[in-house]
């Protein structure tokens, strides 16, 4: 007597496995865990300003930070700008010298793709920058 074995096709098995993994990760992660900034929103926009955990978003952040470090015309303050990237926007935060605002935004725009640039940079007080 022959027994017929019922099995899943490789594609079906992969879909089931991926779904199970996604559900277990979502259940294990408390709300806001992937968004330490609390997904804050600017008053004039609905664009989230918290970081995303997407690989492409991390790549864009790294490229912008590398470009800031490579640009020797920028001050140390400008090279320390905080860059947060998510699927909708690249958010720039920090204090920089007055002549650097446009340059930093232009560098970020080169790598942002279709994301909007949310420039939250402020101009540093020159006395505070030059004092020890």
Give residue-wise pLDDT tens across range 41-78.
444 455 555 566 689 999 999 999 999 999 999 999 99
**Residues 115, 58: Cα–Cα separation, whole Å:** 13
Q: Under 8 Å CB-to-CB from 40, ≥6 apart: which residues?
A: 48, 49, 50
pLDDT single digits (tens) 17-45: 444 444 444 444 444 444 444 444 444 45
Answer whether 0.85 is exceeded by the pTM.
no
């Amino acid at each position: 007597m022959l027994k017929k074995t019922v099995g899943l096709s490789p594609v079906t098995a992969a879909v089931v496995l991926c779904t199970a993994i996604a559900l277990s990760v979502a259940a294990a992660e408390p709300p806001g865990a992937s968004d330490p900034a609390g997904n804050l929103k600017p008053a004039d926009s609905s664009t989230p300003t918290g970081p995303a955990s997407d690989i492409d978003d991390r790549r864009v952040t790294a490229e912008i930070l590398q470009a800031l470090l490579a640009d020797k015309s920028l001050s140390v303050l400008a090279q320390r700008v905080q860059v947060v990237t998510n699927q909708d926007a690249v958010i720039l935060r920090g204090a920089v010298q007055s002549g650097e605002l446009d340059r930093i935004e232009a560098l970020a725009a080169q790598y942002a793709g279709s994301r909007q640039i949310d420039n939250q940079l402020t101009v540093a007080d020159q006395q505070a920058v030059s004092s020890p």
